[in-house]
Structure 1
Amino acid sequence: MITRLLSAIPVWLRILIVFLAQAGVLGAMIAGKMHTLRTGTELILDTAPVDPRDIFRGDYVILNYTLSLVPAHLLTDPEGVNSGDTLYVTVERTAEGSAGAVLGLSETLPPPAPDRVTLKGVVDGIRQTALEVDATGAVLSEREAMRFQMVYGIESYFVPEGEGGALEALRNAGIGALRVLVAVDAEGTAAIKALIVNGERVAEEGLF
């Protein structure tokens, strides 16, 4: 029955329907990102060097963050987490608007709190460093040394042609050389607003 109905629709009309459906999905994605950029809480993230096997790709800068690795022991049951699971990472928002210490890790979105921002991320891997030590030099337990590799949907950023190499060099120069300004909405979704070099915004995202 359905096959007969579809066959009765002209080819050009079927193509038009598919095109409009795809355009609608794309439009919804763009609208969602614009809403996050306009209304989200601004937060400055420090980048970290990227594995040399995964460097600058074309006109996209690949970004890694100090928040890409979070302590798993902040979660009640870290052993029950698998790659692909969604977690919410709550960080301190400092006076300058940058991300401070990781204050919490949860499987559900926590209620909002002053001077805190929660980012929604996906577990991309689990790391175990049994010989890791804390600030006092004491060896951490296996549970304390467990880290979740997180992705937040802000791991790449389009830049004008020819600018990627310099930004890549800054990213790999060490923590703080290249920073990223993001907007985080009430659901924890983050979107990049600009890259920050020497305290100045560069490659700023337009709002159309």
Structure 2
Amino acid sequence: MAASHSPSSLVSDPPAVAEAKQALRAHCLTHLKTRPEGADALLRERLAALILATPARAIACVWPLAHEIDLRPLCHQLSAAGRHVLLPDTPPRGQPLSFRLWTPQTPLLRGRFGTQVPDGPLETPDLILVPLLGFDRSGNRLGYGGGYYDRTLATLPGVRSVGYALAAQEVEQLPTGPYDQPLSCLVTERETLHFD
């Protein structure tokens, strides 16, 4: 029996697309892990300028894993500016993310996959910062393969999605599957690309 086409039950990519994405993940992850010193700070500055110029009140951010771009200083900056900073709570596979309110005083609990989850109330974001391994200039992103952000963006169609990555993580054209959700815009340490 085929899975229904609802955000909570998205099926995986066709085999050829899944294989092409997997091959690109290793390549893009190398660029992320070997980024130059100072790249995170430049990227955070560009993200802060973009976000603070919007009326978005509730911003879904990301508490980084060891190799990821560190958005923690941005979380503090947004909180100090009066924005609600939300961090993802990763559910079992196949479900969209939920987001919990974070403040500098909020205790963090251990989440799935080594993540940290705030011990705060659930809140719906106005803008979602989307981590990625690769991107192209059409607004497509290459994630880690779990489908969490695609499911989440499918359930929140009016919410602006802002990808962030190093310029070196760009690929000419990403393979896309039927459930991939394009980004609204993408910020690198060098430029901001708008897709909507």
TM-score, with length taken from structure 1 = 0.20
Structure number with higher strand proportion: 1
Q: Indicate the structure whose relative CO is greater, using CA pairs within 8 Å and at least 6 residues apart.
A: 1
TM-score, with length taken from structure 2 = 0.21
